[in-house]
């Protein structure tokens, strides 16, 4: 008997995902692929980031963002699709083949960045509070958007790995975002986050090695901790959507 499962968040494209992988994403809203991106691509992205922040190559439309407290260190760069080297990541076959299993085959790269997360200088400003990426994206349907996030070096609890609230995408709810208070009462003006999290019962830390890549739904609640180490915690990320998605008129 052919039982059709109610698979809402994933698509069957040339059996690229196993049924086990599809069911995991359907249930939890994220899926990790160990070693998806080769070391040479990661290495050239590290070098390009260093060259950009040291002004050795043109910034050409890339937005360079400094930490709100440690004004000397670059926290992240955005709109990196303008750069030919970062495109080796954004257009990498290993990424696109998986992304299409969520967006469908007609695919657009809609937002991208390299997050360096330098060591925190003691204000907790390296913490990215829990949030949903859809808050930043007036694009629908949300189910045809996916984030790819790749560790460029080991990411663990000490240097502020990503954490997720499994299954939070299934509430089908865009939460209110504001500037949440840090535990010491200070506010990080770098990031909005969700304050009302009483419905979230479980958090999973995604400790990852270089090249490991997590794909996640734009309603999945996630964040990253303070970088308490002396290491950076670099990651490169791109959101993809179906080119058939609509852009909401946010002026209404
Ligand atoms: O890499 C991080 O620390 C957090 C990235 C993230 O959650 C985001 O930018 O949406």
pLDDT value for 125: 84
Taking phi over 0 as left and psi of -120 to 50 as alpha, with beta for the rest, 94 belongs to alpha
Residue 11 domain-assigned (yes or no): no
Q: Which of 124, 40, 81, 83 is closest to 237 using CA atoms?
A: 81
Residue 66 domain-assigned (yes or no): yes
Q: Which residue has the tokens 């963002």?
A: 65
Residue 250 domain-assigned (yes or no): no
Least confident of 39-48, 51-60, 88-97, 180-189: 180-189
The verdict on the CB of residue 235 being under 6 Å from ligand 1 is: yes
Structurally, the chain folds into a number of domains equal to 1
Residue 104 domain-assigned (yes or no): yes
Distance CA 68, CA 8 (A): 39
pLDDT digits (tens, 9 = 90+) for 88-113: 999 999 999 999 999 999 999 999 99
The verdict on the CB of residue 115 being under 6 Å from ligand 1 is: yes
Chain-wide mean pLDDT for the chain?
A: 93
Range 116-121 average pLDDT? 93
pLDDT digits (tens, 9 = 90+) for 18-36: 999 999 999 999 999 999 9
Cα of 161 from ligand 1 centre, angstroms:
9
Ligand 1 atom closest to 117 (CA)? 3
Ligand 1 atom closest to 133 (CA)? 10
Residue 103: CATH number of its domain:
2.60.120.620
Distance CA 249, CA 139 (A): 9
The verdict on the CB of residue 133 being under 6 Å from ligand 1 is: yes
Q: Tell whether the torsion through CA atoms of 177, 181, 187 and 191 is positive or negative.
A: negative
How many other CB atoms sit within 10 Å of the CB of residue 9? 20
The verdict on the CB of residue 232 being under 6 Å from ligand 1 is: no
Residue 214 domain-assigned (yes or no): yes
Residue nearest to atom 10 of ligand 1 (CA): 133
27 against 60, higher pLDDT? 27
Cα of 117 from ligand 1 centre, angstroms:
9
The verdict on the CB of residue 117 being under 6 Å from ligand 1 is: yes
DSSP 26: H
Range 112-137 average pLDDT? 93
pLDDT value for 2: 47
Residue 12 domain-assigned (yes or no): no
Distance CA 121, CA 54 (A): 21
pLDDT value for 71: 79
The verdict on the CB of residue 222 being under 6 Å from ligand 1 is: yes
| Helix, strand or coil, per DSSP, at residue 240 | strand
Cα of 224 from ligand 1 centre, angstroms:
7
Q: Which of 117, 135, 109, 96 is closest to 13 using CA atoms?
A: 96
pLDDT value for 251: 66
Residue nearest to atom 2 of ligand 1 (CA): 224
pLDDT value for 123: 81
Ligand 1 atom closest to 113 (CA)? 9
Asked whether 123 and 185 are in contact (CB, 8 A), the reply is no
Distance CA 66, CA 72 (A): 7
pLDDT value for 68: 78
Residue 163 domain-assigned (yes or no): yes
Asked whether 117 and 50 are in contact (CB, 8 A), the reply is no
pLDDT digits (tens, 9 = 90+) for 185-239: 777 778 899 989 999 999 999 999 999 999 999 999 999 999 999 999 999 999 9
Segments forming the whole domain that contains residue 168: 19-241
pLDDT value for 190: 82
Residue 70 phi/psi, 5-degree rounding, is -90, 90
Residue 171 domain-assigned (yes or no): yes
The verdict on the CB of residue 239 being under 6 Å from ligand 1 is: no
Residue nearest to atom 6 of ligand 1 (CA): 223
Indicate the helix (H) or strand (E) that contains 151: strand 145-151
pLDDT value for 60: 85
Confidence of residue 183 (pLDDT cuts 50, 70, 90): confident
């Amino acid at each position: 008997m052919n039982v059709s499962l109610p698979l809402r968040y994933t698509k069957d494209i040339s059996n690229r995902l196993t049924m086990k992988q599809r069911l995991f994403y359907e249930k939890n809203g994220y899926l990790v692929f160990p070693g998806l991106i080769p070391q040479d691509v990661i290495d050239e992205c590290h070098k390009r980031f260093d060259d950009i922040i040291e002004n050795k190559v043109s910034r050409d439309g890339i937005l360079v963002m400094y930490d709100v407290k440690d004004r000397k260190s670059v926290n992240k760069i955005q709109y990196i699709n303008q750069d030919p080297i970062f495109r080796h990541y954004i257009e990498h076959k290993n990424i696109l083949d998986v992304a299409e299993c969520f967006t469908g085959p007609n695919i657009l790269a809609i937002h991208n960045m390299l997050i360096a997360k330098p060591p925190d200088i003691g204000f907790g400003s390296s913490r990215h509070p829990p949030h949903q990426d859809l808050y930043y994206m007036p694009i629908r349907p949300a189910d045809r958007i996916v984030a790819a996030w790749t560790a460029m070096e080991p990411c663990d609890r000490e240097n502020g790995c990503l954490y997720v609230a499994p299954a939070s995408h299934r509430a089908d709810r865009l939460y209110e975002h504001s500037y949440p208070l840090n535990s010491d009462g200070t506010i990080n003006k770098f990031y909005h986050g969700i304050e009302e999290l009483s419905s979230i019962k479980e958090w999973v830390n995604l400790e990852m090695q270089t090249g490991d890549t997590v794909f996640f739904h734009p309603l999945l609640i996630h964040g990253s901790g303070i970088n308490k180490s002396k290491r950076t915690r670099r990651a490169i990320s791109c959101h993809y959507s179906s080119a058939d998605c609509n852009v909401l008129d946010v002026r209404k």
